[in-house]
Amino acid sequence: MVDYIKEIERLKKEKNAVIMGHYYQKGEIQDISDYIGDSLALAQYAAKTDADIIVLCGVHFMGETAKVLCPDKKVLVPDMNAGCSLADSCNADDFKKFIDEHPGYKVISYVNTTAAVKALTDVVVTSSNAKQIVESFPKDEKIIFGPDRNLGNYINSITGRNMLLWDGACHVHEQFSVEKIAQLKQVYPEALVLAHPECKKTVLTLADHVGSTAALLKFAVNSGKKEFIVATESGILHEMQKQAPDKIFIPAPANDSTCACNDCNYMKLNTVEKVYNALLNEQPEILVDRALAEKAVKSIRRMLEISAQLGL
């Protein structure tokens, strides 16, 4: 029987590899990651690592972002089937048509997109910096925002902008039920509701705090309150509980109570065994066409530059 944890440690040293894990990964993967974070933090870590191999424990677009930033490194994703319904909701050809139909618009895309969409984009954002990056454009700038309509609507509402939105969404965040969260509030009247901006407007309206996974974590840890209903992918509860062991975190219920809908089925494809196999075989590897990567990297670098200027 292979001792995966021990072998992963050995292979990491032998191959100068690093493991980066998103907060939505299974707890056991977060625990073996050298870096854990939200999408922004993972891109920032990838941009500055001196490892030869990055094992990106997240979904395909995260691996692609790392590869575009580090074309000379080997980027592995433990399970190549780890896709993203939000990225899938924005096909690059259709997005290009949409952009062509609206000349004179700047294009802002959420990081949950393919490299082909990023290559059509002026600046990429994540939920951690979307507000500030949108506000860095002049007030009268005409902007296309894609692909998440919920995040786009939310940013429009807090900035007073009127960005033109692509009609995409994440199947996990769209599932949270306002009625069931309200019922849960009756059981836990002191609990604060924390919601990711990919949730529908009705959920965001009843939330006490809206933010990226990293922002929700920070808020929960620093809050004087003890109980939280968390409307985002359930993986974040692992780090919340770790950083605030005395607090109570309750996953927000989804519309369909027969499924574990607040688990992202793509994120949860990665396992410790698959991480070991990826390191051992240096497969599956993310490959991005060089010419495409050279176009896509500009919009990602722009995001990193603005974020650095803003201290994010």
Burial letters 208-237, b for 16+ CB under 10 A, else e: eebbbbbbbbebbeebeeeebbbbbbbbbb
Selected binder of ligand 13P within 25, 85, 121, 126 (CB under 6 A): 126
Q: Which is nearer to ligand 13P, 38 or 88 (CB)?
A: 38
Site for ligand SF4 contains 86 (CB under 6 A): yes
Residue 274's identity, in one-letter code, is K
Size of the site for ligand SF4 (CB under 6 A): 13
* Site membership for ligand 13P, residue 262 (CB under 6 A): no
Distances (CA, A) of 273 to 7, 28, 124, 269, 277: 10, 11, 33, 11, 6
Q: Restricting to residues 173-232, which ones interact with ligand SF4 according to CB under 6 A?
A: none
**Residue 165 three-state SS:** strand
Task: Give dist(CA 253, CA 188) in Å, integer.
Answer: 14
Binding map of ligand SF4 across residues 105-134, x = CB under 6 A, - = no contact: -------x----------------------
39 binds, among ligand SF4, ligand 13P, none (CB under 5 to 8 A by kind): ligand 13P
213 near ligand 13P, judged by CB under 6 A: yes
CB of 33 to ligand 13P, least distance (A): 14
Taking CB under 6 A as the rule, does residue 170 contact ligand SF4? Answer: yes
Q: Which residues contact 21 (CB under 8 A, 6 or more apart)?
A: 29, 30, 32, 33, 35, 36, 57, 58
Query: Applying CB under 6 A, which residues contact ligand SF4?
Result: 24, 59, 84-86, 112, 170-172, 233, 264, 266-267
